[in-house]
Amino acid sequence: MNSLFFGLAVTDFAAADDWYSRLFGRAADIVVTPGTEAMWQLADTAFVYIVVDPERAGHALVNIAVPDLETAVAEIGSRGLHPGPFVLVGPDGAAGRKAPFVDPDGNSIFVIEIAGT
């Protein structure tokens, strides 16, 4: 595998574009099709994209690992997005913690800190 492209189906491109721009702290890196599809590069070979697809919208689950969950959540919060309660991963959080964010369509984006990394 060379790259990962993770697609998130949305119903309202403008609302999703605004929400993901706030989540990632910048406008999309690539506008594939104006008003329909846009992409953010999160690592050298990892991309998240939104695409208008009402039939599939709202069913995605995505985990994005960060080195410091508190710092990441504070940065995202400064842009007006706030997670639900933190979730422990594994028995008593032995594997880590994650902060759930939900986009306007109901797609779940978890910002996760993996224990021991």
CATH number at residue 51: 3.10.180.10
pTM reported for the whole predicted model: 0.93
Q: What does residue 84 show for φ and ψ, rounded to 5 degrees?
A: -75, -175
pLDDT digits (tens, 9 = 90+) for 64-92: 999 999 999 999 999 999 999 999 999 99
What residue numbers bound the domain in which 71 lies? 4-114
pLDDT digits (tens, 9 = 90+) for 4-48: 999 999 999 999 999 999 999 999 999 999 999 999 999 999 999
**Domain total of the chain:** 1
**How far, in Å, CA of 45 to CA of 17, rounded?**
21
**How far, in Å, CA of 91 to CA of 69, rounded?**
18
